[in-house]
Amino acid sequence: MPTTPGLPVRRAALRLLDAVLRRGETLEIAEGAALSGIRTAPDRALARAIASETLRWLTDIDALIDSVTKQRLPDDAKARMVLRIMLAQALRLDTPAHAVIATGLPLLAGGPRRLAHGVFSTLVKPGAGTLPEHPTLPESVVARWGAEKAAAIAPGLAFPPELDLALKDAAETETRAVAMGGVTLAPGHVRLPRGAAVDTLADFKAGDWWVQDLAASIPARLLGDGTGKNALDLCAAPGGKTMQLAAAGWNVTALDMSKRRLELLKDNLKRTGLKASPVRADALVWEPKHRFDAILIDAPCTATGTCRRHPDVLHRIGARQIPEMVELQRGLAAKAAEWLNPGGVLVYAVCSLEVEEGEQQAAWIDANCGLAPMPITAAELPAGLAPTAEGWLRTHPGMLADRGGLDGFFVARWLKS
């Protein structure tokens, strides 16, 4: 019996959703198994988009489902899971209702198709199933971040992010922005509309740029020119910050313990023609052969600051994962402080929105690592961003929303006397 066109893609999206919500996997990890039978790039992208938009709007989609059912469907009921992806397609991806029904109801073979059909049909009637202007965050997330912070962040989560490029030569910023049809928010940065196929863009093979969110580019910017100096990039792969440092003249040691991710870093260095010394090691047991003039720690973290591009983190990460990350981050900071030359600079950064991984870690480093705070200044930051009173930087997805937003980061800097 022939398969309904588009049905395998919806099955794959359902597998992605199940991997995140039931097993706590990242979308990236889940893709290997979930998309194994999906051959074409457009179909794989569609499966990812369905799962991502479902997770982005999950709280609101669930509220819609509950508003028209007499008895609440269990969170893990297959009917709820299928209705979630059906509504995400209809309400966020503009998929025609007949196509959603044709590819959704077969996922409930032997199950409550009539219920799902009725719920979906009711909610897609004009004016019936409407989503708010921006996603409602899960209650557990609001409890961690606080209502005020969550309300500021939520507007930045309504859409997937645009495409940010970091340029190898910042002097080309304006020229490249015009040539590529983008805008720039800082020297060495170009922002393009979402959906662009990266490997088809101008000068991809020439290695004149790499993909890197604007917020992610700030930590390396804070180290400035490194001509003739040695820098260590801890947890370096896949290499965006390593390439920034190399382009700024630093002699970079790029350390990471993941073989796969280090291979990506090496590939990126080869494509861009930039030089660095990759090292595969566990930073907590590794000992360098020399000290460094600068160390950048882009520390392992909960990555909740990437929620606009990875909405799965809103549903995977909870309070129980944070203490483990905090302990690891402190171990890395303590090691880095030992490895700095006198006069050396340490930059600590996490793509996390959790205060335990950001502000509280900076206070811990102040008190325990023998380093002097080196406040970040407004002049060092892209327009529209400002340091905190302590001289730290905190960004979140609701910032610069009128210009496309940015990821959530915490960044702080110290000097070794």
> Mean pLDDT throughout 154-170?
96
Interval 197-207: pLDDT, tens: 898 898 999 99
State the average pLDDT over residues 72-84.
95
Same domain for 114 and 66: yes
In this structure, the answer to whether residues 105 and 187 fall within a common structural domain is no
Is 332 inside any structural domain? yes
Indicate the residue among 123, 153, 181 that finishes a domain.
123
Same-domain status, 183 and 287: no
The answer to whether residue 101 is domain-embedded is yes
205: domain CATH number is 3.30.70
Give the C-alpha distances (Å, rounded to integers) separating 208 from 266, 349, 388: 16, 25, 33
Show the CA angle centred on residue 353, arms to residues 223 and 184, nearest 5°.
50
- Looking at the 3D structure of the chain, how many domains does it have? 3
Is 235 one of the annotated active-site residues of the chain? no
Q: What is the dihedral of CA 374, 377, 382, 386, to 10 degrees?
A: 110
Structural domain contains residue 135:
no
CB of 14 closer than 8 Å to CB of 81: yes
Query: What's the confidence (pLDDT) of residue 128?
Result: 86
**Mean pLDDT on 295-301:** 97
Residues 245 and 391 in one domain: yes
Count CB atoms within 10 A of the CB of residue 206: 11
How far is Cα 417 from Cα 92, in angstroms, rounded to an integer? Answer: 54
Average pLDDT over residues 341-357: 98
Shared domain for 207 and 232, answered yes or no, is no
Neighbouring residues of 143: CB distance < 8 A, sequence distance ≥ 6: none
Single out the residue in 212, 234, 249 at which a domain terminates. Answer: 212
145 domain-assigned? no
Domain around 242? 216-415
Rounded distance between C-alpha atoms, residue 399 and residue 283, angstroms: 33
My answer on whether 118 and 251 are in the same domain is no
Q: Are residues 264 and 227 in the same domain?
A: yes
Judgement on whether residues 264 and 399 belong to the same structural domain of the protein? yes
Average pLDDT across the chain, whole number: 96
* Residue 408: CATH number of its domain: 3.40.50.150
Give tens-digit pLDDT for 173-183: 999 999 999 99
Q: Are 234 and 283 in contact (CB under 8 A)?
A: yes
Q: Considering the chain, what percentage of its residues have pLDDT values greater than 70?
A: 100
Q: Looking at residue 1, what is its pLDDT?
A: 42
Per-residue pLDDT, 2 = 56
Residue 409 maps to a domain: yes
Q: What pLDDT, on a 0 to 100 scale, did the predictor assign at position 399?
A: 96
Task: Tell me: do 200 and 220 sit in the same domain.
Answer: no
Please report whether residue 142 resides in a domain: no
Range 279-287 average pLDDT:
96
pLDDT tier at 196 (50, 70, 90 boundaries)? confident
Render pLDDT for 128-147 as a digit per residue (tens, 0 to 9).
889 999 999 999 999 999 99
Under a CB-based contact definition with an 8 Å cutoff, are residues 360 and 405 in contact? no
Residue type, 315: H
What's the alpha-carbon Rg for the chain, to the nearest Å?
23
pLDDT at 111: 82
Judgement on whether residues 319 and 333 belong to the same structural domain of the protein: yes
Q: Which of 301, 307, 351, 369 is catalytic?
A: 351
Sequence-distant (6+) residues with CB within 8 A of 367 are none
Mean pLDDT of 246-275: 97
Same domain membership, residue 170 and residue 104 = no
Once rounded to an integer, what is the mean pLDDT over residues 45-72? 97
Residues 371 and 234 in one domain: yes
